[in-house]
């Protein structure tokens, strides 16, 4: 994108940012550069420290032209100074957690989030000498009370998997700044179309590109966005040495997905609102959690913080959840009974509270009660895709009829 277009709208940015016609061929679409190494004009040193204007690419683990185009596009969409891509969302999350925290440090983390993140912070970080306090990140007083002199990072996810609980990014950023700690936000469910955490004061934004940004369920990827100085440090450690880099082919697929992100998010939101209203009116549905519905306990915060309510719905049923899940797996005709989210295809999955506590969250007392206030014994997590919403409602009505 030419410099004069830096003030362009979101749709233009999603399509053009980070890309330029290839100077050698004039190719309009991004080149897919699979080369692992780059021929140099003159000898250089043998380390990633030698990357620079003269030699922007030396070895693909240190940087790749196709991956760089995606990093620049994502940075433009988030309003970030810089972006870094990784092989998966978890590789991006691990890069921030292990890049900021070391032995003796303390992490305050949202007690409700993506199960992989929940398990990483509860199992791996303590083994490395990092203390971890999971808190209900929607409760500012609880976050404040959890801070210690050795706290270095607050990590939240909003809306949080699987119950779509929000946290107030601007308020958390104020708290973090006062305490001199960094704030990282996993914004996978929101995408840069809905929320721009850096504008609200966060230091790092993490995305599983596998979900909405790629959008088609065919490429794993992750990204971290933030200040250039912070990301340069992450680049040298996480990218160059931990080595979990994004494949150029996946970057190329995700670039193509990212170009339509604003249009897809508008359609995901419209579809989700229609399906959420249908579910809310269904006799067999006990509760619907969707940030775009006035019944969501944090609808006011959602209106303030999100410019799109995304396509994720969680709902409880009046009957036996696991039995209905079995029937869904057998008889849904359009919606796929499958994990993951953010794809053009609709996906649904049963997430039982006891199972989730045993495998990932291990909440007790008031924190478990706060989780149960949203989820009860369990929720169906529905990622509303881009199909015609009446078809999705008919498919769901078919299985709910027997519930």
Beta carbon nearer to ligand PLP, 93 or 151:
93
Torsion of CA 97, 201, 299, 281, to 10 degrees: -40
- Piece of 24-32, 206-214, 308-316, 329-337 that binds ligand PLP (CB under 6 A): 206-214
Give 161 or 316: the residue with its C-beta nearer to ligand PLP.
161
Q: Which stretch binds ligand PLP (CB under 6 A): 5-13, 185-193, 235-243, 384-392?
A: 185-193
Name the residue whose CB lies closest to ligand PLP.
89
Residue choice 17, 208, 246, 265 for contact with ligand PLP (CB under 6 A)? 208
- Per-residue interface string for the shown chain with ligand PLP, residues 145-184, x marking contact by CB under 6 A: ------------x---x-----------------------
Give the position of tokens 């808190």.
135
Q: Which residue among 88, 158, 239, 298 contacts ligand PLP (CB under 6 A)?
A: 88
238 is an interface residue for ligand PLP by CB under 6 A: no
Q: What's the min distance (Å) between Cβ of 212 and ligand PLP? A: 9
Q: For ligand PLP, which is the closer residue by CB, 85 or 240?
A: 85
Helix H, strand E, coil C: the string for 21-75 is CCCCCCCCCCCCCCCCECCCCCCCCCCHHHCCCCCCCCECCCCCHHHHHHHHHHH
Q: Are 95 and 84 in contact, with CB atoms under 8 Å apart? A: yes
Is residue 116 part of the contact set for ligand PLP (CB under 6 A)? yes
373, 353 contact by CB (below 8 A): no
At its nearest, how many Å lie between ligand PLP and the CB of residue 399?
24
Measured CA to CA, the distance from residue 389 to residue 403 in angstroms comes to 21
Give the DSSP per-residue string, 103-171: TT-EEEEESSS-HHHHHIIIIIHHHTT-EEEEE-TT-HHHHHHH--TTEEEEEEESSBTTTTB---HHH
* 188 makes contact with ligand PLP (CB under 6 A): yes
Q: Which of 18, 65, 89, 214 binds ligand PLP (CB under 6 A)?
A: 89
Kind and range of the H or E element at 271? helix 261-280
Nearer to ligand PLP, 114 or 349 (CB): 114
Q: Which of 332, 312, 316, 315 is nearest to 385 (CA)?
A: 312
**Residues at the site binding ligand PLP, with contacts judged by CB under 6 A:** 88-90, 93, 114, 116-117, 157, 161, 186, 188-189, 208, 210-211, 220, 222
């Amino acid at each position: 994108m030419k410099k004069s277009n830096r003030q362009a709208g979101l749709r233009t940015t999603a399509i053009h940012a980070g890309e330029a016609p290839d100077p050698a061929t004039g190719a309009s679409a991004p080149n897919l550069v699979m080369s692992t190494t780059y021929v140099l004009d003159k000898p250089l040193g043998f380390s990633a420290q030698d990357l620079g204007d003269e030699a922007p690419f030396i070895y693909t683990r240190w940087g790749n032209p196709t991956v760089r185009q995606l990093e620049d596009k994502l940075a433009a969409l988030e309003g970030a100074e810089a972006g870094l891509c990784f092989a998966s969302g978890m590789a991006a999350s691990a890069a921030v957690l292990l890049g900021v925290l070391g032995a003796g440090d303390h992490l305050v983390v949202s007690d409700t989030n993506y199960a992989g993140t929940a398990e990483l912070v509860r199992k791996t970080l303590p083994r490395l000498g990092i203390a971890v306090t999971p808190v209900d990140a929607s409760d500012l007083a609880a976050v404040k009370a959890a801070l210690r002199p050795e706290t270095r990072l607050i990590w939240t996810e909003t809306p949080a998997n699987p119950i779509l609980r929000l946290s107030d990014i601007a308020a958390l950023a104020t708290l973090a700044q006062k305490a001199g700690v960094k704030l990282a936000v996993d914004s996978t469910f929101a995408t840069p179309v809905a929320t721009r955490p850096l504008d609200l004061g966060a230091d790092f934004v993490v995305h599983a590109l596998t979900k909405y940004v790629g959008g088609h369920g065919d490429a794993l990827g992750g990204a971290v966005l933030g200040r250039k100085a912070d990301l340069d440090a992450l680049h040298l450690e996480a990218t160059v040495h931990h080595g979990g880099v994004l494949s150029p082919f996946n970057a190329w697929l995700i670039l193509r997905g990212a170009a339509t992100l604003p249009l897809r998010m508008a359609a995901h939101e419209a579809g989700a609102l229609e399906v959420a209203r249908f579910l809310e009116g269904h006799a067999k549905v006990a509760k619907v959690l969707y940030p775009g519905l006035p019944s969501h306990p944090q609808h006011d915060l959602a209106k303030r913080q999100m410019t799109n309510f995304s396509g994720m719905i969680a709902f409880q049923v009046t009957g036996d959840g696991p039995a209905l899940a079995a029937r869904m797996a057998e008889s849904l005709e359009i919606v796929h009974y499958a994990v993951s989210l953010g794809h053009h295809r609709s996906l649904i999955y049963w997430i039982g509270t006891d199972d989730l506590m045993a495998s990932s969250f291990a909440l007790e007392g008031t924190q478990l009660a706060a989780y149960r206030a949203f989820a009860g014994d369990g929720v169906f997590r529905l990622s509303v895709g881009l199909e015609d919403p009446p078809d999705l409602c008919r498919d769901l009505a078919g299985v709910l009829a027997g519930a």
